[in-house]
Amino acid sequence: MRAARSPKSREADARKHVSRAELAIRLARRRRRGERIVFTNGCFDLLHPGHVRYLAAAKRLGDVLVVGVNSDASVRRLKGPSRPLQPARDRCELLAALAAVDYVTVFSEDTPYELIRAVQPDVLVKGGDWKPEAIVGADLVRARRGQVRSLRFAAGRSTTALVERIVSAAGKNK
């Protein structure tokens, strides 16, 4: 049996979930200390090992990992009316509990372009299904002489595939 997370751990995780304005303040401080900011984004609707591995790899590219999370309305526009499966608040809580993640913030636009403009990351990261030249915000990062990286996916790991397996299993159990 796993021990419950301590109130102190939960409080630390909550401090990772910040508004865009608060994020800008915190990142300015860290940038002044010479820390390298890494940014990625996604829906993270059902957190799975592929996400955990991807975020750990992204964190290794710098000192601070910022994760932009699509709002519920944004996910619905991108994935359809049956998504998200979990509200943004829950998705952010799960991400904030990961050691690799330093900050989590929600964005409501269909793309993270304006959030990337606000974050001004040194490294912009997406999963292997994105070619670096097609990654939203790559122009902003390259204009600041930053890096744009596409990281390899963990084979067989995706939220969509997981949802399909759940639906299939539910249909067989009727």
pLDDT one-digit tens code per residue, 32-54:
999 999 999 999 998 988 899 99
CA distance 117 to 39: 11
13: confidence class by pLDDT, cuts 50, 70, 90: confident
pTM: 0.86
Report, in angstroms and rounded to the nearest whole number, the Rg of the chain calculated over CA atoms: 16
pLDDT one-digit tens code per residue, 51-89:
999 999 999 999 999 999 999 999 999 999 999 999 999
Residues 6+ apart with CB under 8 A from 135: 124, 126, 148, 150
The domain covering 7-172 belongs, at the CATH homologous superfamily level, to HUPs (3.40.50.620)
In a 13 Å sphere around the CA of 151, the CA atoms on its Cβ side amount to 23
Pick from 12-16, 26-30, 135-139: least confident: 12-16
1: confidence class by pLDDT, cuts 50, 70, 90: very low
Sequence ranges of the domains in the chain: 7-172
